[in-house]
Amino acid sequence: MKTEDKRQPVLVTRPSMPELDEYVNELKDIWDARWLTNFGAKHEAFRKALISRLGSERVELLVNGHMALELGLKALGLESGEVITTPFTFVSTTHAIVRNGLTPVFCDISPDDYTMDVSKIEDLITDRTVAILPVHVYGNICEIEAIQDIADRHGLKVLYDAAHAFGERYKGVGIANFGDISIFSFHATKVFNSIEGGAAVCRDGAVSEKLRLLSDFGISTETDIDETGANAKMNEFCAAMGLCNLRHLDREIEKRRQVTCAYRERLEGVKGIKLNPLQDDVESNHAYFPIVVEDEYGMSRDELSDALNEEGIFARKYFYPLTSDCGCYKGRFDPAATPVALDISKRVLTLPLYASLDEETVERICKVILK
């Protein structure tokens, strides 16, 4: 493993990238074809590669994970009503609901794995509830069976925000295969990236087809415009990057696993530092390394974050504030209605984690925490 330059800041993440030659090789085809976007050859090749990787035929590629969420809700035909979701996520999840004219209803999270607390979902269901939108936050898998059971009993759609969960398996099944739709983010900062990009995997072929239309202005044929769509297509350059990175994904995940082991060796058992749980039945992609700073640590999360910053280490407060507490939603929701999520959001710190993070840097980071 290459040792990092000590003068360089240590960022929370760095994108995985192929060798330049490998990407340039893909670009040559794009130059030859003079086809840059609108469902070109790279788009189709990447989509096919994902179909085989994810184990589902109904994969649609989008410009980013956010549009996969936003258009996914629209493709499910949800035009009004309430969506039960978590506030402990990136703002995109909540924005996607609101931007569809739907109302988010926030469910508290489990203090164990920070996903939606399923025991609290049913109390939130009203005659206006149309869907559940859980998040596999940090790649921690939600209680899938319980959520589906509730959805089936109440006739609700389920859309999983699986932005953090690409490449994971639950009880041996690829994580894309749950809910009515599962969406992924291929943003530069994710385990797997196509520079910017996203995908939606649909249970139903008609939903998948609608999503594809919605990503291209709703254009069915030159003269038939059948949906009020947007422009959310993945371009050829992003698809080419996705094709390259997909070839190396397993190796990248293995490197990330080694980094998380290095952290665990040093931080397991440290008083007041709670590590992310290892979930049974889950093949993890090691997307994030969140720690929760408890009172016994003797320093607050913010003080620890500042101490790390002073050493040039830029951990991040994913996810603080709760989305229900964001400036644009002030006064609209009550963050105190989800007390566990509120508490965790004030204590959580996500440590640097990426495939090329070397052990010496992990040691440096842990030394600050252990001090």
Residues in contact with ligand T4K by CB under 6 A are 11-15, 64-66, 89-90, 92-93, 135, 161, 163-164, 185, 187-189, 198, 314, 318
β-bridge pairing 129-133 and 173-174: unpaired
| Minimum distance, C-beta of residue 96 to ligand T4K, in the bound complex (Å) | 8
CB of 259 to ligand T4K, least distance (A): 15
Q: Nearest distance from residue 17's CB to ligand T4K, in Å? A: 9
297, two tokens: 């640590």
Please check whether residue 113 is in contact with residue 275, taking contact to mean a CB–CB distance below 8 angstroms. no
Question: Do the strands 173-174 and 224-225 form a parallel or antiparallel pair, or are they unpaired?
Answer: unpaired
Least separation in angstroms between residue 13's CB and ligand T4K is 5
Tell me which DSSP letter residue 311 carries: T
- Burial letters 108-127, b for 16+ CB under 10 A, else e: bbbeebbbbbbebbeebbee
Q: Which is nearer to ligand T4K, 163 or 322 (CB)?
A: 163
Nearer to ligand T4K, 236 or 297 (CB): 236
By C-beta, is 115 or 260 nearer to ligand T4K? 115
Of the two residues 297 and 357, which places its CB atom closer to ligand T4K in the complex? 357
Three-state SS for 214-257 is HCECCEEECCEECCCCCECCCCHHHHHHHHHHHHCHHHHHHHHH
Cis peptide before 192 (omega within 30 of 0): no
Least separation in angstroms between residue 325's CB and ligand T4K is 16
* CB closer to ligand T4K, 286 vs 297: 286
H runs (alpha helix) in the chain: 20-33, 41-54, 65-75, 91-99, 144-154, 205-214, 236-247, 249-267, 301-310, 339-347, 359-370
Least Cα distance to 139 among 241, 256, 251, 264 occurs for: 256
Q: Which residue has the tokens 């893909």?
A: 26
Shortest gap between Cβ of 58 and ligand T4K (angstroms)? 20
- Minimum CB separation of residue 16 from ligand T4K in Å reads 10
In the complex, which residue's CB is closest to ligand T4K?
65
Q: Is the Cβ of residue 297 or residue 350 nearer to ligand T4K in the bound state?
A: 350
For ligand T4K, the closer of residues 93 and 338 by Cβ is 93
CA-CA distance, 138 to 225, in Å (whole number)?
A: 38
Nearest residue (CB) to ligand T4K, 65 versus 229: 65
Q: 135 or 262: whose CB is closer to ligand T4K?
A: 135
* Alpha carbons 131 and 97: distance in angstroms, whole number: 10
To ligand T4K, the closest distance from the beta carbon of 353 in angstroms equals 11
CA geometry: angle 243, 247, 251, nearest 5 deg: 140
How much is the CA Rg of the chain, to the nearest whole Å?
A: 21
Q: Which is nearer to ligand T4K, 64 or 345 (CB)?
A: 64
Work out how close the CB of 99 gets to ligand T4K at its nearest, in angstroms, rounded to a whole number.
13
Q: Measured between alpha carbons, how far is 113 from 40 in angstroms, rounded to an integer? A: 40
DSSP type of residue 291: E
Give the shortest CB-291-to-ligand T4K separation in angstroms.
16
